[in-house]
Structure 1
Amino acid sequence: MAHPDLNLLITLDVLLAEGNVTKAAKRLRLSPSAMSRALARLREATGDPLLVRAGRGLVPTPRALELREQVGQIVEAAEAALRPVEALDLKRLNRSFTLRSSDGFVENFGPQLIAKAALEAPGVRLHFLPKPDKDSAGLRDGSVDLETGVVSGTGGPEIRAQALFQDRFVGVVRHGHPLTMDEITPERYAEGQHILVSRRGLDRGPMDDALDALGLKRNIATSVGGFSAALALAKASDLIASVPERQTGNLRTGFVSFRLPFEMPQLTVSLLWHPRQDADPAHRWLRGIVRKVCDVRPPPISRP
């Protein structure tokens, strides 16, 4: 088509989201016959059937699946461009936000974040979800507003990321643990009974890679899926937990924390969101208070 009808993009976006001509027609306030005609025009424009019959329903073609996210982003950008900007009144803001975070983040930063949000915007509610994996599908489909975590290549190229803070692993044991009775060397650390933390059920962690370079191997006694569980075990035993310092600050109260006796790269914990939220004033405010809460630095840890 020399001059494509850009209104068809909205129709295509709804059709791909609903996967049903009747439901798409109802959403766009069109008759089913008008929607069928629009689908015929889309098929002609793209040279692809887009939606094909499968039993009593319709399923998208491979070409439709390729177009789904691209078309959705174009429509969202167009809607954002045409939406009037309103001044944000935090005292009257009535909205819920969903944050997905790694183990330890809520326990350590959640209380301050909730308190600050309530002070500035009493009508805002924060919902926290666990983050068992790095899949950012929730950001893309809108069910999650913000995520925190270490950026990897699995989040998708369109996901926005902004560094919040640098973190590092520290060792944690109960008071009176034999490890603290003398200098903590790489050899003494490796010889202890360790708790492996792995959300994906792996048999080694970053500490093991660092010890490999020294020709040492940790004695792993058990494994858990999160840092909170690791600290609970360490509190009631002679097991050694190795956890991120910043994200477990509150959880480590009552423990002996020590710097690991070998070099390990720091972690960059970032704030993640979908670009559809870039220009939203309320979302910008939320990102701002998360950054402020995470900007408070803990006191340094020295070797006991």
Structure 2
Amino acid sequence: MRFNKLDLNLLVALDALLSENSISRAAEKVHLGQSAMSNALARLREYFDDELLVQVGRKMEPTPRALALKDPVRDVLIRVEAAVLLQPEFDAAQSDREFRLTVSDYTNAVLMPHLLALVHRQSLKVRFQLLPQVTNPQRALENGEVDLMIIPDRFAAKEHPAEQLFEESFCGLVWRESPLAHGELTLERYLNQGHVVMEPPQAKAFETQALAEMGIYRRVEVTTFSFATAPRLVVGTTRIATLHHRLALQAERMLPVVRRELPVRLPPMRQMMQWHKYRTNDPGIAWLRKTLHQAVQAMDQDMHTA
């Protein structure tokens, strides 16, 4: 099919080339041979009268024209994909669809087990690919690389619909034998003690940003890449970790640690689920959203009965 003399099949090749900046990786991504992808690039260069990708040292770099084309081409393909894949209804009992979700390790630890258990109890065949929230997870949503993103509201993309799943509060977590396990945890004690802090790559965690906005800066002695490991890193020390309440409760069940009320009141974290605006009418996404709400109910019931 052609539009203004452009073979529209070439848009798929162009999208892969501009996302990978490599002929070989682009060919692999769309299941083409390398020679076929090279031929597609030659035809694209001829149509746009532009090199599109140029060799710079060992890498290929996009030209200004290619950069201008990248987002519009991706947007067109996401629209087409949403229209083609859209089914009039979604039967979870019959579907083996794979849902791709970006989640933090906090969400993986406290919510995802309840989602998977719920699906398992219903003997459903749907599958899940749980992807890490690397730098700029919104880009993966924008590019149609994930179906749904679970993320605090302050980090959610403004251009796409979002729905609140639950609210989360924060508390301190210390080793059971630590002096901080006893007596009032005053602001002075909190600030004078060493802290274990989770630091995501090239970003700040929700609680770190919230404290900074209050003018409070901790004496950080240990940083980790994982919320879930932070509780273990205070054991045997006098350090303190500022954690999500649900994760701290989970840790208290398994480790010699105790929760402490913080001397400052952090704003609650509103955990959202977000999907691409073109997928709003996707019955599969609607089913997933409903099932996630059910998983939240199971999560909180488990927390309150512990």
* Counterpart-to-counterpart distance in 2, 1:184 and 1:87: 54
CA deviation string 1:139-172 (max 9, x = no partner) = 344443322222456x765444332222232101
Q: Retained in 2: the 8 A contact 1:107–1:248?
A: no
Q: State the partner residue of 2:139.
A: 137
Larger CA deviation: 134-143 vs 260-269: 134-143
Q: Retained in 1: the 8 A contact 2:151–2:273?
A: yes
Q: State the partner residue of 1:17.
A: 15
How is 1:121-270 mapped onto 2 (pairs within 5 angstroms)?
122-152=124-154, 158-200=159-201, 205-206=208-209, 209=212, 212=215, 218-253=218-253, 254=255, 255-270=257-272
* Counterpart-to-counterpart distance in 2, 1:37 and 1:211: 56
Q: State the partner residue of 1:302.
A: none
Give how far 1:70 is off.
1.7
Structure 1 residue ranges without an equivalent (≥5)? 300-304
Distance 1:142 1:78, change over 3 A: closer
CA deviation string 1:16-72 (max 9, x = no partner) = 12447xx79x89xx9x999988875x53xxxx53746759x9975422332232233
Give how far 1:276 is off.
4.0
Structure 2 residue ranges without an equivalent (≥5)? 18-22
How is 1:44-123 mapped onto 2 (pairs within 5 angstroms)?
49=50, 51=52, 61-78=63-80, 80-81=82-83, 85-120=87-122, 122-123=124-125
The amino acid that maps onto 1:227 is F
Distance 1:207 1:191, change over 3 A: farther
* Counterpart-to-counterpart distance in 2, 1:71 and 1:9: 13
Q: TM-score, normalised by structure 1?
A: 0.73
The 3-state SS of whatever aligns with 1:86 is coil
* Counterpart-to-counterpart distance in 2, 1:192 and 1:221: 9
How many residue pairs get aligned? The number is: 281
Identity over the aligned pairs, expressed in percent? 25
Computing the radius of gyration from Cα coordinates, the structure with the larger value is: 1
Give how far 1:242 is off.
0.6
The amino acid that maps onto 1:126 is F
Give how far 1:200 is off.
3.3
* Counterpart-to-counterpart distance in 2, 1:243 and 1:92: 40
* Counterpart-to-counterpart distance in 2, 1:114 and 1:122: 10
Give how far 1:94 is off.
0.7
Give how far 1:95 is off.
1.9
Distance 1:133 1:37, change over 3 A: closer
The 3-state SS of whatever aligns with 2:73 is helix
The amino acid that maps onto 1:237 is T
